[in-house]
């Protein structure tokens, strides 16, 4: 009986310690169509897999999007690439006389990519095939 209790204890001691992932907060702006939009990117990065997960908020419109991708080290900088999706945004389901559409979101997916150097992100936000330059500064 004692050996049965000792084995899980020993195996648990061999497991790697879980380290909390620091939350990064970045803010900045992009010129989308004719207006300047303010953005906030909040994310964490897994130090082993370099997987990024978080949210991209458009502060000008109040919209929030989910962001998932990678932050890969590249010399003295890092390459950030993330798919940005509306997540659980409202979806349109409509039909007339048996024809219709289902599950169409009101917001488009986007792709965020660029380079992080120090406290500055310089990149772009690609929405519906159009690239908009985006600059963010780290605030936390």
Q: Which CATH number do you get for residue 54? A: 2.40.128.20
pLDDT greater at residue 135 or residue 109: 135
Residue 128: which region, alpha, beta or left (left: phi > 0; alpha: psi -120 to 50)?
left
pLDDT greater at residue 11 or residue 140: 140
The per-residue pLDDT for range 62-104, each reduced to its tens digit, is 889 999 999 999 989 999 999 999 865 555 455 666 666 665 5
43, HSE (Cβ side, Cα atoms, 13 Å): 29
- Terminal Cα distance for the chain, rounded: 51
SS3 assignment, position 39? strand
Domain that includes residue 109, residue range: 18-90+103-138
Instruction: Examine residue 98 and state whether it is found in any structural domain, yes or no.
Output: no
Instruction: Examine residue 13 and state whether it is found in any structural domain, yes or no.
Output: no
Would you say 106 and 96 are in contact if contact means Cβ atoms under 8 Å apart?
A: no
Is it the case that residue 124 has pLDDT exceeding 90?
yes
Instruction: Examine residue 112 and state whether it is found in any structural domain, yes or no.
Output: yes
Instruction: Examine residue 79 and state whether it is found in any structural domain, yes or no.
Output: yes
Q: How many domains does the chain have?
A: 1
């Amino acid at each position: 009986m004692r050996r049965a209790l000792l084995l899980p204890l020993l195996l648990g001691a061999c497991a790697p310690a879980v380290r909390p992932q620091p939350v990064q907060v970045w803010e900045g702006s992009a010129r989308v169509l004719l207006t300047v939009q303010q953005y906030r990117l909040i994310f964490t990065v897994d130090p082993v897999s370099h997987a990024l997960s978080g949210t991209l908020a458009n502060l000008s419109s109040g919209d929030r999007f989910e962001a998932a991708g990678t932050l890969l080290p590249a010399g003295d900088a890092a390459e950030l690439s993330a798919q940005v999706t509306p997540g659980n945004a409202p979806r349109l389901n409509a039909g007339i006389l048996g024809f219709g559409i289902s599950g169409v979101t009101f917001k488009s997916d986007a792709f965020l990519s660029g380079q992080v150097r120090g406290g500055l992100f310089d990149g772009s936000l690609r929405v519906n095939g159009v690239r908009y330059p985006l600059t963010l500064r780290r605030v936390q």
